[in-house]
Structure 1
Amino acid sequence: MRFFLAMLFTLLTTSAFSHTIKSIKYDGMVNMSESVALRMLKFDVNDNISDEMIDAFIRAYYAQGYFDDIWVELKDEQLIYHFKEKLHISKIELKGWKESDTEVKDSVIQIKVGALYDEKKLEAAKKRIIDAINQEGKIDSVVEIQKEFLDNGSIKVTFVVNEGREIVIESLKFSGLSGLKSSAFNDVVANKEHQFMGWLWGRNDGKMKVADLAYDHLRIRDIYMQHGYLDIDVKEPFVNVNFDSYLADMSYQLEEGDVYTISAITIEQEKHVIDDAIIREEIKMMVGKPFNVQTFREDSQRIKTLIADLSYAFVQVVPDLKKNKEKQTVEVVVKIMPGNKVKIRDVIISGNNRTLDRIIRRELFLGPGDMYSLTDLTDSRSALGRLGFFDGNTIEEKRVDNESMDLIVKVKEAPTGNIQIGGGYGSYGGLLVSLAVNDRNVWGSGINVGVKAEKSSKTKSYSFDISNPRLNDTDFSGNFSIFTSDFTYNDYSVLSDGVGLGVGHRFTRYISGYLGYGFSQNSYKYDENSTITSTNQLQDYTKSAVTVSMNFDNTDDFYLPRKGFTFNQSFEKAGVGADADYLKSRTTFGAFKGLDEYIGADIIARYKARLSYAKEMGFLPLSERFYMGGIKSVRGYESYSLSPTVKDVNATDGIRRVGGELTASNSFELSFPLVPKAKMRIVTFLDYGYIGSSSDTYKDLDTNSIVRGGYGAGLEWFSPVGPIQLMFARPLGQKEGDKTAVFEFTMGQRF
């Protein structure tokens, strides 16, 4: 009897707390697929399940974060899970602060469109916005979150920002300052005292930069260390803010100490890898001079490069300063810990959606199996920049172990195939427009193909060219071009049809040579009202010329270099079985220097020089002589308008430009960032040039030499369709009869 009652009790309990289900249904679930939901269950159809099992999987589903509510219904042996999903954010807006800045939405708000609505994440984004505004020196900012429920069941979130007031540093004081003047810190600290008319460029507006408060005292300390104050102690600044006026007083407490002079320089190699004498050649610190931490850093970098070029990739160079406080001297111990030699295990290329891997690899001076070299690594970065295929590139060193590493080459491709438009306007030629369809990297192969057309009231030209800088991935290059042009001078035009081809070779990383041949047929056409008759210099001619050139380029970027030099010397000899017979020499030079390390701003200084000379050896046609003016020589004057002249009553203005045999020009430029995110810059320039003639061809020269200059400003923009230059110029030294040009623009050229 007891056994029977126990069995009956068990059966009744099972019936009350377990269920046999014939099907499972999900209602209201969108973000999770039914197949995934079923896999999460630990039971199946026709199983007996308990209420506890049902509750457990309600909690499991809820933990996925997609749902506001979940409940279960058991109906006719069917288990139904009902879901109320969280709302989706379909639109995010920012009002009152950086409304159109998409980067802020990514880096500060950090909530993507399509994300699930989450109050905690919205509050965290609100806090990040306030913190970001505080970093700009504005306090008491308020951010409200507005929510709008849309008809499609989603939600629109708007962050309404009421920016606080900027704090202005009214007074900045230094306590304990004696050895240096406070002006010594002006170039390094971010927080400065407000100056009268501080809104002017070059003046201090005094606006507090909160993010830099934690670093300014370290920058002051570094300046002292550059003057030998090794015991310098600079406390963090004390800031007193008046929240009624939003003006602040700031002060620094300093303890300078003494100036330490270098008594000795000792080299300690943890493992001897190179002669100490070779290391000493890289050291610019001098015994008897005050210690300068900046000089030590520069010495350390040179030593590091020297040893890293011996494959010691993980070398460390650190100072050990042994001070003698009584004598105020310091022994500088240069400790060198080279580590082990490192081999490159693999080179991984990323970011090149278009450019072939081999096009990138052939520019690298390090490959799998090579021993590490810091110079090779640096030169590889510059070589990739000189291609002009990428907006930027980095080569990361990924340590595998103490004796091997991988190189991760990351590139960001730039538009290389584009429609290039250029031109200008002048009193002589009117509107000049050039149109080119060009791809410097066709199909990602590194081959350059271009078709160009140029048209103005005075000029008409068409050309096609193709070149391969690395034939079959070797150090040889090749090119072919064909062209036709019609250039109109005052009373006559020069019509030319020609073809050219050549081969080049890269001798070193920076030096390459070129040998080319060109043939052209040239004829003159006269204005129907002109009374000019054919002369020796105006007769139709053929030209067959050989050109040889040498080029040096160690810049770090093709379009916008910030360091390095360019130099090109070419000689052209015409007279190989044709009418024209002369020798031309052309020399160009460029120097580029970024000033960021000196003044803390991305300003680029450039100097460009050109020198050309022609020697008549039989026949130097008029159109082969040199002319000056325009965006490539002296801006402010119309292209080709500056030239020695002769009086000619048959010419429309009474003179005829006959060109020169010698021309030289110089350009000084400063390029300033305007809108960095849009890759837009402002450039100021000063041009100066000379052109002259020493030939006996024209004994009646009205003007045999000309010196002119120009100055102005322009816009440099690396647009989505290529680099664009807009130049506004004014002439210097203008004479009567000069043809000036106020505005010129080009596209696709190196800045």
Structure 2
Amino acid sequence: MKKAVLSSFIVAAALEATQIQSITFNGLLHLSNESATDISGLKVGSNFSDEIANRAIINLYKQGYFENITIEENAGNIIVNLVEKPVIAKIDINGVVTNDQKSIEQIIDIKKGQMYDEFALNNTKIRIRQFYEARGYFDTVVTTDIVPINENKNSLHITLTVNRGENIIIENVNLVGAKALDYSDIEPAVANKSREFMGWMWGLNDGKAKIYELPGDSAKIQDEYLKKGYLDASVSAPNLNAHFDNYKADLTYYISEGEIYKANQISIKAPEFLELDTAEIIDDFKLQKGDILNSSWMKLDISTLENIVANKGFAYVKVNPNITKNSDYTADIVYEVIPKEKVYIRDVIISGNDRTADRIIRRELYLTEGNLYNKTDLIDSKNALKRSGYFEDVQIIEKRVDKDQIDLEIAVKETSTGSIVGGIGYGSSDGLLLNAGVSDSNVFGSGYKGSIMVDKSDDTLSGNINLTNPRVNDSAYSLGGGLFANDYSWDEYDEQNYGANIIGGRQLGRYINAYLSYQIERSEIDGLDAFYRDAGYQNGVNIKSALTPSISFNNTDDYYVPRSGIIASTSLEYAGLGGDMEFIKNRTTFNIYQGLQDYIDMDLILRYKSGFGYIYNDDSSKLPINEKLFLGGINSIRGYDSRSVTPKKKICNPKNSNGTVINGCEIIETGGKISFNNSFELSFPIINRLKMRGVIFYDYGMIGHSDINEIKRSSAGAGIEWITPIGPLQLFYAQALDDKKGDDTSSFEFTIGRRF
């Protein structure tokens, strides 16, 4: 007797019931006899029938190994003949670029080492076509070449040859029925845009159709209408009329706009136990009575209300806006608050910190095990971690355990915090430039900050060593210190100084830190000529012993690229605790950052940065030049040489040390006692995957000896901000706007390591 299955099951004639005496498998390669017997369901001593034979064939065929199965029976001896499918030994993909090949290899259904399956091969061809369609390429053709590798034909070499199709280019986007909005109003929101002139250039629309994003574009257009108050607006599904002779298309939407609605009565419906001051909350809403009913403003108000309730422990609060339209085209809004259950933190799990110790992360968290859920604490924890500068990205993932418990996963992506710097260069004024050093803001993942730096040029030799523990024993206290030494050989004089400093601090709340530092410094100035001495400069040795209390505020959401928050600080340096200098110097800075993503759906960042300095000193002639104030350079007014914006004094015919008059005049920089500088910046993305942004800026500063208006300078320009593997890099081109004769200007400046 014989049963067989080729490409489909063939039912043989009915078999007489026979007891199985033995079972033999022929052709097994990947399965053992024992496994094949178990899978088939055949057993020695059991009956053998037509139904049992069919079931055995089906069971074996389901394994996916076989393309041909036959069963023979002779006096109870069962022989199962199997022909296994060939194995895919090699796969080549031709006609695609390297990056596409890597992506295709991830999505196809056939893999090296698998059994050959015609269905999987056909599905692979479909997936490749879909891959290119998702990227806007149509009529992609995939051909296959299947070649046996050995004589037994049980190993195959499959070659997929891809002939990528063409892009469909959208020539026109038609908004039929639109009156209030035109294409320029919806263009920033939609994915499918019409081709612009020279659309192949970076930054311009190339018009390539994105088929898989087409359905979502209708909703995006409708959302633009809702932002303008058109509550009755409806937008049809997209109608893409493509011409496959030239692969060009027109895209059409049919729109019914309706009328503009304004907000009328706004109220909050919430359970009494929440104890919400609804009048105060509504007063702080973005959308107020009489405003055009802007859906984006409404979403912001919903988020505000959800956060207020979530701060009371209701992590899963929902706020549903119930809108009632009135005949006069106004709408009443009732925000219905559904708090659900209070939620507690069960566990805090930290992941992604291959280098940074868990405790360094935990000490920045305001939520921990057993705490009642609080949305503000959650956001502040995330921002505190991002402000640390240790992490490229921080995500706090909420994992619901049950109705009243939640786990928090703190998923961090560490960034490079350390760098070894070595360089050689040449400057027109400094000659040969050499520098070397090592720094790390998270030494061995401990949270310590340390650096050793040495710089050498024709005119300078300087070095410093610093080490700081920002959280001593993970407490609110910090402690640090450093040593420094500098040797300058200026054109007019030589200067040497060295010293040490120690600084202690304490956190005062979440955003405020107070510090107290002490510095002892010895400086020596030598070689001043008669012109400088006549301007008030002094040769000799000075000892500065200074105590500096300071306070800082920082509630930004990131260390390098903040999009919200304020950084402010002020310090008061008192020199006069011994030594021979006596003065009080105030330095104050104020920076504010505001991202515009929530308002205009673009990742733009507005920044305002300012600095103020003032020296209290009754006799400025006793104040060394290196303690006075200067502006200019990348830290104050770009477009001017560093420390070149300063009061100047014309000195003529001074007397030298023996009383002889030296004929002639020189302009001497005297330094200032009061200064103010500020900058306005707009940052925008260039290449997100490279973390590269652009910036345009305007700088303005004032400085004087007794009058801050003595000297005023400004500049404008543009630059690139780039978070590189060795740290954040800034490159600026600046143009001095109101430079005067004698000013030292510079066009290009760069720095590595500063926050943006």
Whether contact under 8 Å (1:667, 1:686) holds in the other structure is: yes
Query: Does structure 1 residue 139 correspond to structure 2 residue 142?
Result: no
> Per-residue deviation at 1:118?
6.9
**Could you tell me the TM-score, scaled by structure 1's length?**
0.82
Question: What is aligned with 1:580?
Answer: 581
Residue 412 of structure 1 aligns to which amino acid in structure 2? K
2:609 and 2:487 mapped to 1: Cα distance?
A: 29
- Checking the alignment, whether the CA contact within 8 Å between 1:318 and 1:336 is kept in structure 2 is yes
| SS of equivalent to 1:410 | strand
Is the CA contact 2:526–2:539 (under 8 Å) kept in the aligned structure 1?
A: no
Residues 538 and 621 in structure 1, CA contact (< 8 A), matched pair in contact too = no
Tell me the alpha carbon deviations over residues 46-101 of structure 1, each in whole angstroms, 9 at most, x when there is no partner: x9999999x99999999777999999xxxxxxxxx999983455x8767544x347
Which residue is equivalent to 2:313?
A: 311
Q: 1:78 corresponds to which residue? A: none
Superposition pairs for residues 614-629 of structure 1, below 5 Å? Answer: 614-617=615-618, 619-629=622-632
- Listed as ranges, the gaps of 5+ residues in structure 2 are 1-17, 71-81, 653-661
**Structure 2 SS opposite 1:540:** strand
Q: Deviations over 1:648-693 (max 9, x none)?
A: 6899994433322223222333333333223233333333333322
Greater mean deviation of Cα atoms: 473-482 or 425-434: 425-434
How many aligned residue pairs are there?
Answer: 709
Q: Which residue of 2 aligns with 1:609?
A: 610
* 1:354 correspondence with 2:366: no
> For residues 445-502 of structure 1, what are the alpha-carbon distances to aligned partners after superposition, in whole Å with 9 as ceiling and x for unaligned?
1111111122233332111111011111111111111111123332222211110011
- Whether the 8 Å contact between 1:468 and 1:479 is mirrored in structure 2 is yes
Which of 671, 687, 697 does residue 685 from structure 1 map onto?
697
Q: d(CA) in 1 for partners of 2:663 and 2:699?
A: 30
Task: Answer yes or no: is 1:630 the counterpart of 2:629.
Answer: no
Is the contact between residue 647 and residue 669 of structure 2 (CA under 8 Å) also seen in structure 1?
yes
- When normalised by structure 2's length, the TM-score is 0.82
Spell out the pairing of 1:331-480 with structure 2 (5 A cutoff).
331-420=332-421, 427-430=428-431, 432=433, 434-480=435-481
1:110–1:17 Cα change, 3 Å? closer
Deviations 1:383-433 (A, max 9, x none): 111111111010011111111111111011111122246898764335655
2: CA distance, partners of 1:585 / 1:457 = 33
Asked whether the 8 Å contact 1:636–1:731 carries over to 2, the reply is yes
- Does the 8 Å contact 1:603/1:672 carry over to 2? yes
Amino acid at match of 1:140: D
| Structure 2 CA distance for aligned equivalents of residues 290 and 507 of structure 1 | 43
2:678 to 648, 658, 666: 666
Q: What's the counterpart of residue 743 of structure 1?
A: 748
Does the aligned pair in 2 maintain the 1:504–1:513 contact within 8 Å?
yes
- Between stretches 591-600 and 553-562, larger displacement belongs to 591-600
Deviation at 1:601, TM superposition (A): 3.7
User: Which residue does 1:520 correspond to in 2?
Assistant: 521
Structure-2 separation of matches of 1:40 and 1:523: 93
Q: Distance in 2 between matches of 1:137 and 1:721?
A: 37
Q: Cα distance 1:445–1:118, how it changes in 2: closer, same or farther (>3 A)?
A: farther
- Alignment equivalent of 2:730, drawn from 700, 716, 725: 725
Q: Which residue of 2 aligns with 1:8?
A: none
Q: Is the 8 A contact 2:227 2:295 kept in 1?
A: yes
Counterpart contact for 1:575–1:582, Cα < 8 Å:
yes
Residue type of the alignment partner of 1:588: T
Q: Quick one: which amino acid aligns to residue 103 of structure 2?
A: V
Write out aligned runs for 1:177-326 (5 A): 177-198=178-199, 204-270=205-271, 272-275=273-276, 276-324=278-326, 326=327
Distance in 1, Cα, partners of 2:699 & 2:318: 46
Paired with 1:425 and 1:672, the residues of 2 have a C-alpha distance of 33
| Other-structure match for 1:640 | 643
Asked whether the equivalents of residues 422 and 747 of structure 1 are also in contact (C-alpha less than 8 Å), the reply is no
Partner of 1:9: none
- The alpha-carbon distance between structure 1 residues 405 and 604, as it changes in their structure 2 partners (threshold 3 A), is same
Rate the CA distance shift 1:39–1:661 in 2: closer, same or farther, 3 A: farther
- Alpha-carbon deviation of 1:106? 7.3
Equivalent position SS for 1:302: helix
- Write the distance in 2 (CA, Å) between the matches of 1:595 and 1:93: 44
Distance 1:737 1:150 in 2: 81
Q: CA deviation at 1:434?
A: 4.0
Q: Deviations along 1:150-172, whole A, 9 cap, x unmatched?
A: 99x99998765444333232232
Partner in structure 2 of residue 657 of structure 1: 669
Q: Secondary structure of the equivalent of 1:537? A: coil
Q: Aligned equivalents of 1:107 and 1:564: distance in 2?
A: 42
Map Cα deviations across residues 494-530 of structure 1 (whole Å, 9 max, x no partner).
2111100111111111111111001111112439x99
Q: Is the 8 A contact 2:520 2:545 kept in 1?
A: yes
Identity %: 39
Deviations along 1:546-581, one digit per CA (max 9) or x if unpaired, are: 111111111111112222221111111111101121
**Secondary structure of the structure 1 residue equivalent to 2:754:** coil
Is 1:270–1:335's contact at 8 Å kept on the other side of the alignment?
Answer: no
In 2, the alpha carbon distance for the partners of 1:601 and 1:228 equals: 21
Quote the Cα distance in structure 2 between the aligned partners of 1:146 and 1:588: 69
Alpha-carbon deviation of 1:305? 0.7
Q: Secondary structure of 1:443's match?
A: helix
Contact persistence 2:501–2:519 (CA under 8 A): yes
1:407–1:288 distance in 2 versus 1, CA, 3 Å: same
- Give 1:647 deviation, angstroms: 4.2
Distance 1:645 1:536, change over 3 A: closer
| Distance apart, 1:622 and its partner CA | 0.7
Alignment of structure 1 residues 99-114 onto 2, 5 Å: 99-100=98-99, 104=103, 108=107
429-438 or 474-483, larger mean C-alpha shift: 429-438
Quote the offset at 1:148 in angstroms.
9.5
CA contact (8 A) 2:88 2:113 kept: no
Q: Matched residues in 2 for 1:51 and 1:727: separation?
A: 88
> What is the distance in 2 between the residues matched to 1:689 and 1:154?
76
SS in 2 for 1:576: coil
Could you give the per-residue CA deviations for residues 190-241 of structure 1, whole angstroms, max 9, x where no partner exists? 3334444555677654333323311222122122223332222211122211
Maintained 8 Å contact 1:550/1:570: yes
Secondary structure at the aligned position of 1:378 is classed as: helix
Alpha-carbon distance in 2 for matches of 1:124, 1:297: 43
- What CA distance in whole angstroms lies between the structure 1 residues aligned with 2:663 and 2:385? 51
Name the residue aligned to 2:5.
none
Task: Give the distance between the partners of 2:420 and 2:497, measured in 1 at CA.
Answer: 25
Structure 1: segments with no counterpart, 5+ residues: 1-12, 72-80, 696-702
3-state DSSP of counterpart to 1:365? coil
Distance of aligned partners of 1:744 and 1:157 in 2 relative to their CA distance in 1, 3 Å threshold:
farther
Q: How does 1:691-702 map to 2 (within 5 A)?
A: 691-694=703-706
**Relative to structure 1, is the Cα distance of residues 70 and 421 closer, same or farther in structure 2, using a 3 angstrom cutoff?**
farther
Check if 1:510 corresponds to 2:511: yes
Does the 8 Å contact 1:421/1:747 carry over to 2? Answer: no
Q: Secondary structure at the match of 2:251?
A: strand
Aligned equivalents of 1:704 and 1:18: distance in 2?
A: 105
**Matches of 1:128 and 1:622 in 2, distance apart?**
72
Name the aligned partner's letter for residue 489 of structure 2. T
Q: How does 1:563-574 map to 2 (within 5 A)?
A: 563-574=564-575
CA 1:176 to 1:734, structure 2 compared with 1: closer, same or farther past 3 Å?
A: same
